[in-house]
Structure 1
Amino acid sequence: MSTQPDIGAGRRSAAALETAFEDLHAPLVGNEARVAAERCFFCYDAPCIRACPTGIDIPLFIRQIATHNPQGAAKTILDANIFGGMCARVCPTETLCEEACVRMESEGKPVEIGRLQRYATDVLFASGRQLYRAGPSTGARIAVVGAGPAGLSCAHKLATLGHTVDVFEAREKAGGLNEHGIAAYKSTDDFAQREVNYVLGVGNITVYHGRRLGRDVTLSGLCGEYDAVFLGVGLQAVNALGIDEAGLTGIEDAVAFIERLRQTPDLATLPIGRRVVVVGGGMTAIDAAVQAKKLGAEEVTIVYRRGADAMPASRYEQEVALTNGVVIRHFARPYAVVGEGGALTKAVFVRTSLENGRLVDTGETFEISCDQLFKAIGQVFLPTDLADEKALIEMEGTKIKVDAERRTSLAKVWAGGDCVAGGSDLTVVAVEDGKQAALSIDRALAARVAQAAE
């Protein structure tokens, strides 16, 4: 085998690519959905509700589907989670609501909650019906920084409560990771933008693109101009490999690769290596590896420092990778990279093992020939964007410290999503953060009005 780097476009035909990037799950259709819904026991004090970070009344919406009312089901879903359509596609339901399903315990096969949720929301979006309108104006103005799931969830709830919301987004397209960081085969037919448009359709929300915190707007400036501020800025950088990358081409962030793929209209023009290595064990690593394979890479290998059970990606996601021809190698970490003419040709790994619960190097190394290496070893928050001498915000570790209502140490500032301490890298958690922050902001504004009237 040649060790010369080989990165090129057009490895698969347009027809083959279209097939490869079809929906990961075929959507349910009418009678099929009703049959699936009838498996639900409609439990009292249902464990699936407790397992849902947004508290969707799952038995209720499933009963509505079973009784031929999918749009009513969609309202039940969206009242709790305005991004219920995307969450139905990308939530790890197998480790949340479906794992808690009573059918899972008794039969080993849960009610297909995720697919049923998608069915209901798809029916609503296809109808063109807008369920939400902005509430009567309160006169209050709120700034939201970041047009991802947390920011837009917050903005939507605030608008329904009658507040005017300005959203400041660094990118030219809203949606956050739903638009830029989710595998294309999980969100087809431009669904992310269609959902964003639905959320914004409530009214009283204006999105300003190309406006980055710390560069175009400042926290102190927003606090001075608005009645409240919500920070949903996400994570801005990827962890380094911890080795000298030697300036070699072919090494890049997996998040950047996924974003580029999502924004490329013709996938046949997207270059990919013949031999690809992905370092990491989370959802981003799986998404990058599977999509590299779908683009035509001949060999794709995920390398993770611990065992399969410790991988952040669920067992189901690991199976998606394996069934798409991705090789997963465990208990190894990057040790060095080798190149020719400034381009990557090999990655060297050192084997690891667990000793008394601690991960240690064994000293044994091995090589994998590769043209591309994607880093998917976690994203980090860059507090430099918050640097503002007039509005210092308290941090917890490397992230923003918030209380149970998502309030920060600054009186007029709330935060949620991946940028806050204790946050989880899940869309559904970010949506709940935004919703709870909006309710807290509304209570705080009402208290200020009541205090001023005394």
Structure 2
Amino acid sequence: MTIKKTGDIAAGRLDSAQLACEFADIAPLMNATEAAVAASRCHYCYDAPCVHACPTQIDIPGFIRKIGNGNLKGAARDILSANPLGGMCARVCPTEILCEGACVRNDQDNEPVRIGALQRHATDWAMARGEPLFARAPDTGRRIAVVGAGPAGLACAHRLALSGHRVTIFDAHALPGGLNEYGIAAYKTVDDFAQREVQWLLSVGGIEWRSGAALGRDIDLAELRQQHDAVFLAVGLAGVKAVGIEGEGLVGVEDAIAFIARLRQAKDKSTLPVGRRVVVIGGGNTAVDAAVQSRKLGAESVTMVYRRGVEAMSATWAEREFAQKQGVTIVLCARPLRLIADGDGRHVTGVEFERTREDESHRLIDTGERFAIEADMVLKAIGQKLVADGIDREILALDGGRIVVDAERRTSLAQVWAGGDCAAREGLDLTVQAVQDGKLAADSMDRYFARTAKHAA
């Protein structure tokens, strides 16, 4: 094979056949027999804890019972009525801390029902057949603008369209899907599933998609409010936090989210350059995805470094365990001090860290012990932030860099709702939580339209 180098960053470390194996589906689809056996382990609990653990409140015992009875269409309808992105959530949800983590089988034989795999079994069956599961209500004449085509925006648009409203989704990207399309590891969503799921969702009708439309550049919030009956902001967290240390502009230093997006959009992964020695700074799912995919592209050593202990990492135990099985080394309790440059002062050659510890108040304290890790590629994954272009911060209240919303996802601005990662609300920043935000906002809009129609009458 031919390796094209830029310093120690190179494309083509593995050939196409090796890459196909590395990026194959990590959780292949169940067959009918496997699904029936898995479904038979469910106790169909009354007031099931797995349902309460699911942010979208899917009737899990109900859809599993239908799978056991061979009614896959009914199972898919149960799932997708509660979560229109149920196929993607079955692939990326941290089920180990949500539904499967709450399963009563954990207390019996330490093995939960395979809820995520069963959910994927039913939703993939339905989408492969393209059968209509839902019918759109008669047109209401209401028009809603959804800004952002990620999970929150798509879920909101789908629910509003089912109610008969007309929705226009605006998004800055070329493709809809948000992080599902651009920010999730390729091995979790193979065969262009993110786009296939979006096309199924849009097929309900009443939803128009406009690409290349960025808030503050191509569209204006004030104009959207004037031209629509309601606006839903689902702009995500498009900005990337800087580490704020010396050497951040060196060649070989990159934001992890940009690295993942480039990988997801690549038609040929053998053309993607990756370092021989990669260091990933961060302890969340993005850090894990970047680290694992660096290994899968052929990096010889990948080290993920987090400033606190394992209990503070936002990546779940399953994600951490998977990363380590893929050959990623995890270093805890170390914060980056500076990025080390080569003799020309252009390329990164390593990262200097300082050991840390927490005091009784969980404040981070430097110990004075320093060490360095060699690296020709450094990926930063310390979090993202709201890009507030096009948002009038004098009118739209923000808290901690996110949009303030109430329980119904209403903002401080009349006729404007917000959800997903851009919203300051309870809950984890997960795909499934973003879907629930979109549902709550859509239902709130419906109630608002009903009230305004009653008053007008």
What TM-score range do you get, normalising by the shorter chain?
over 0.9
Residue 170 of structure 2 corresponds to which residue in structure 1? 168
- Which of 16, 21, 30 is the aligned partner of 2:18? 16
Residue 419 of structure 1 corresponds to which residue in structure 2? 422
Q: Does 1:217 align with 2:222?
A: no
Identity within the alignment, %? 57
1:24 to partner: Cα distance = 1.2
1:354 to partner: Cα distance = 1.6
8 Å contact 2:146–2:231 — kept in the other structure? yes
Residue 3 of structure 2 corresponds to which residue in structure 1? none
Residue 295 of structure 1 corresponds to which residue in structure 2? 297
After TM superposition, the structure 1 = structure 2 runs for residues 109-258 of structure 1, keeping only pairs within 5 Å, are 109-245=111-247, 247-258=249-260
Residues 327 and 388 of structure 1, relative CA distance in 2, 3 Å threshold:
closer
8 Å contact 2:419–2:434 — kept in the other structure? yes
1:405 to partner: Cα distance = 0.5
8 Å contact 1:219–1:388 — kept in the other structure? no
Out of 243-252 and 288-297, give the one that drifted further: 243-252
CA distance in 2, matches of 1:246, 1:411: 41
- Which of 358, 367, 382 is the aligned partner of 2:372? 367
8 Å contact 1:393–1:408 — kept in the other structure? yes
8 Å contact 2:281–2:379 — kept in the other structure? yes
1:240 to partner: Cα distance = 1.0
Whichever residue aligns with residue 451 of structure 1, its letter is: H
- Which of 46, 49, 56 is the aligned partner of 1:47? 49
CA distance in 2, matches of 1:87, 1:316: 16
8 Å contact 1:417–1:433 — kept in the other structure? yes
Residue 107 of structure 1 corresponds to which residue in structure 2? 109
Q: Does 1:452 align with 2:438?
A: no
Report SS of the residue matched to 2:369: strand
Residue 406 of structure 2 corresponds to which residue in structure 1? 403
Runs of 4+ in 1 over 3 A off after TM superposition: none
Which whole-Å deviations, capped at 9, do the CAs of 1:154-195 have from their partners, x for residues lacking one? Answer: 000000000000111110100000000000000000000000
CA distance in 2, matches of 1:100, 1:408: 32
Report SS of the residue matched to 2:390: helix
CA distance in 1, matches of 2:63, 2:69: 10
8 Å contact 2:63–2:79 — kept in the other structure? yes
TM-score normalised according to structure 2 size: 0.96
Report SS of the residue matched to 1:384: coil
8 Å contact 1:5–1:345 — kept in the other structure? no
Whichever residue aligns with residue 409 of structure 2, its letter is: R
Whichever residue aligns with residue 207 of structure 1, its letter is: W
Which whole-Å deviations, capped at 9, do the CAs of 1:97-141 have from their partners, x for residues lacking one? Answer: 001000012211100000000000011111111212321010010
CA distance in 1, matches of 2:12, 2:453: 61
Residues 89 and 246 of structure 1, relative CA distance in 2, 3 Å threshold:
closer
TM-score normalised according to structure 1 size: 0.97
1:388 to partner: Cα distance = 7.1
1:446 to partner: Cα distance = 1.3
CA distance in 1, matches of 2:404, 2:176: 25
Residue 429 of structure 1 corresponds to which residue in structure 2? 433
Residue 347 of structure 1 corresponds to which residue in structure 2? 351
Residue 62 of structure 1 corresponds to which residue in structure 2? 64
* Gap runs ≥5 in structure 1: none
Out of 125-134 and 11-20, give the one that drifted further: 125-134
CA RMSD of aligned residues (A): 1.1
